[in-house]
Structure 1
Amino acid sequence: MRMLLYSMILWLIPANLVAATLSLDDCLARARNHNPALRVTRKDVGIAHESIRQTDAALFPRIDAQGGYTAQLEAQAMKVAGQVMETQQPAYLFASLGINYTLYDFGRREARRSSSRLNLDALTFGLRNQEQEVSLHVVESYFGILETQRNITAAAEELQTVEEHRRVAQALYDAGSVTRNDLLQAEVRLANARQQLLARRNLLENQYLMLGFLTGIPVAEHPQLAEPTPPVQPHTVPDRSKAIRRRPDLLALRKVVEMSEQGVRESQSAFYPELFSRLSLDYLENNKLREQTIYGATVGIKINLFDGFASTATRSKSVAAQSRATEQLRLAKEQAQLEIDTSANDLQVAFERIAVTKESIRQGEENLRINQNRYKERVGTATEVLDAQTLLTQARTEHYRALYDYQRAAARLRKATGDL
């Protein structure tokens, strides 16, 4: 009987679904390497590295050079004692070389450098958090496939039972022992069972497509997935305070708060002067002058006196951004605590449901056997047999859901504690 059922399931599942076996760890590893969303985030991390180089450039002097050729209609001249004297050639070459360096800007430069490094840290933690999000989706897709495969098995068993009941009803109807209503009931229920089986096969195909998208598995491949080890005892909940301290999304938000603090520091430095130095070389072709090349060195100070209150608005904006980042971090901590608690509750309930639904299957099988025997002996009705089969299928479906809800809840708890 079991070999016949197994052969039927293999026939119902497309041939391309039978492939190499993959474990959950294999799928998670493939997702980390091939998931398109993670590839995009890694590009953001690379951009942040270049932003650090960009802000570090302020530690070095700036060297500018320019040159060109100018042609005028007339040479520039001046009047001296009623005489006109040319002071410049009508056409000339010019060139200049300047080296500028900021000596001190009251922390503006360091604030920008610190902000760029904190941004890199935030994006790195954000990448880790997104890896955990993708891993959770992979886990849900993985166990969704296994649950659907189990439900296909249950639907195939129901189909086989209904077909057997229809055969018995046909025999009794041919013998004149039952009315045609019993036979019609069996045929309607048989059609419904086939429809449910087709719907679950379609769901399985879509779930494989989603797993392929998450992990980079080619669409044509439908690997066989390894079953998890059944739980024997409830999952222990880790220390919540330690879990919150190591969650990557919270670590990223802490870096955002530190970035906002550096933003306030940078905005405040706009109210202070800047000390600078400059070395220059200027060449101007002019045969009217003795010195055509001028060398110079400058040490100076500059400060903005009025910018239409732009600096004041920038500082107020930075302070508001810091306050918002702090509140966002506080909210994320509370949400993390809620996520840990709800995941732990779901895990405990799923573990208890496994034992309850397992017993329901045993009772459903016995109930179906009794009603089948009663119907064959003509002391029961066809409705009782079909209802018993429906109850058994529901019990099996709930059992499979409890099994994989436990695995999904365990993954959510690991993600909530930053361990996925």
Structure 2
Amino acid sequence: MHKVVVLLALLLCAICSSAHAETLTLKECLDGAVATSRGLKSASHDVEIAREQVGVARSTRLPRVDLQAGYVAQAKAQAFKFGSQSQETQDPRYPFANFSVYQTLYDFGRTGAAEGMARMQSEAARYSYTGNEQDVFMQVVQAYYGILTAVKLVNAAEDEVTQMLSHQKTAQALFDEGVVTRNDLLQAEVRVASSRQSLLSARNEVQKGWLLLNYLTGAPPERRAELKDDSQLPSTPSLSEAPDMSKRGELSALKAVVGADEYAVKEAKTIHYPELFAKFGIDYLSNSKVREQAIVAATVGLKVNLFDGQASTARVRQAVQARSRDEERLRDMEERTRLEYALAVSDMLVARDRISVAEKAITQGVENLRITKDRYQEHVGTATEVIDAQTLLTRTRTDYYRSIFDLQVSAARVKRATGEL
């Protein structure tokens, strides 16, 4: 007996621990989405790629060191002609090597502009990642509260089935007594079947919601848990308040892109300027015909492009146009963000009013259904009135649950518009 008690206690502990493990909060879902989202992982690589580009741009500040070596085999050695005589000046086959160090001394800001452009592009990639992360968060919030709403709609549908079965029994009893016609009974049976269809549809919405949430959070498709909804109804901001959009990732990314465009214009203009450089080199060529086979030289010089077919001028115009384009995109994004914020706040206000109306309507609907059922049992009301009363109550409950969902999602949209989700 003692062993049986111990086994039952262990089983109870396992059940309790598994039930505890199945509780899932919104924050856990958001953390899971960040850790497993393929889209975010892809965007994180873009951030790293852009960061490495800064090192590429900065590399021109350091010297360039090259080494080249090889072996040449000629059909005939090169030679000078002296009348009818000739004298070879090199061996027909010879190894060679070249070592050089090239350092840019001054390029009129070209390297600095390229480095600044790469740095701003790196910031743009980082802010874009933040925007992508916010989009994933928004999808998780919608899926999470979608499941909570769907579960409540299932409960409402189950209650409707129970009420319709009760009405069917009442109609059956009254029909057996000969008080009502068979039409009332058939109507009740059809309504029970319809309620069961609605229940199946509601349960299917729960299953689809879980499939979506599991996909977003990287969980197995078959995972099911108890969602913990401990959030309070969010407060509604005023439409007259100017939103703080400093944390909006897409806006910050576009501002960084415009900054990169400024550097791109500067870099394009420096193409017309000369470059001062220094070079040190060692050239070795095996040649038994000459005395010096290795030549060591140091050079300080200036190089400038005199004509490139107007390509440099076209690059400047291209950079200016790209900057103008991105400035327009930034202004458009700012306007669309303000609109997104205003729409979300407006939806929050409407959803809060809908909740207040629906709460009162549910109480009235329950009382209406009770009175209608009593009237039917007293042979005063009709079966249609009972069905209509139950349908009205279910619709009112559905409106209430959807209003709560709309309020929570609208609050998330407000935070998404300001980059605070």
TM bin (shorter chain): over 0.9
TM-score, structure 2 as length reference: 0.92
Q: Deviations over 1:185-211 (max 9, x none)?
A: 111111111111111111111111111
Describe the SS at the equivalent of 2:291: coil
Residue identity opposite 2:299 in structure 1: T
In the alignment, which residue of structure 2 is the partner of 1:35?
A: 37
> Which residue number corresponds to residue 220 of structure 1?
222
RMSD of equivalent CA atoms: 1.8
Q: How many residues align?
A: 404
Q: Deviating runs (4+, > 4 A) in structure 1?
A: 16-19, 237-242
CA distance in 1, matches of 2:295, 2:88: 20
Q: How big is the shift at 1:389?
A: 0.4
Paired letter, 2:99: L
Separation of aligned partners in 2, 1:137 and 1:311: 46
Q: Which amino acid aligns with 2:410?
A: A
Alpha-carbon deviation of 1:305? 2.0
- How many Å separate the matches in 2 of 1:33 and 1:230? 27
| Alignment partners' CA distance in 1, 2:401 and 2:312 | 63
Deviations 1:326-374 (A, max 9, x none): 1111111111111221111111221121111000000111111111111
Q: How many Å apart are 1:73 and its aligned residue?
A: 2.1
Aligned match of 1:116: 118
Q: TM-score scaled by structure 1?
A: 0.92
Instruction: Tell me the alpha carbon deviations over residues 242-291 of structure 1, each in whole angstroms, 9 at most, x when there is no partner.
Output: 61223222111110100111111111111122222211100011111000
Structure 1 distance, partners of 2:239, 2:260, is 31
CA–CA distance in structure 2, aligned partners of residues 414 and 90 of structure 1: 77
- The equivalent residue for 1:243 is 244
Contact residue 240 and residue 340 of structure 1 kept, 8 A: no
Deviation at 1:229, TM superposition (A): 3.6
Q: Tell me, in whole angstroms, the C-alpha distance in 2 between the residues paired with 1:108 and 1:48.
A: 19
Structure 1 354/226 Cα, relative in aligned 2: closer, same or farther at 3 Å? same
Residue 312 of structure 1 is matched in structure 2 by 313
SS in 1 for 2:246: helix
The letter for the 2-side match of 1:299 is V
Does structure 1 retain, via aligned residues, the 8 Å contact 2:239–2:345?
no
Distance 2:158 2:320 in 1: 64
Structure 1 segments unaligned to the other structure (5+ residues): 1-15
**Superposed displacement of residue 63, structure 1:** 0.9
Q: Is the 8 A contact 2:124 2:256 kept in 1?
A: yes
AA at the equivalent of 1:89? D
Offset from partner CA, 1:283-336 (integer Å, 9 cap, x none): 011111000000111122222222222112211111111001111111111111
* TM-fit CA distance, 1:228: 3.4
Query: How do residues 179-190 of structure 1 correspond to structure 2 at under 5 angstroms?
Result: 179-190=181-192
The one-letter code of the counterpart of 2:29 is C
Equivalent residue number for residue 334 of structure 1: 335
Q: Is the 8 A contact 2:78 2:89 kept in 1?
A: yes
How far did residue 221 of structure 1 move? Answer: 1.0
1:223-252 CA deviation, whole Å, 9 max, x = no partner?
Answer: 110123443x74345995561223222111
Q: Distance in 1 between matches of 2:147 and 2:42?
A: 27
| Post-superposition offset of 1:165 | 0.6
Unaligned runs of 5+ residues in structure 2 are 1-17
Q: Which residue of 2 aligns with 1:9?
A: none
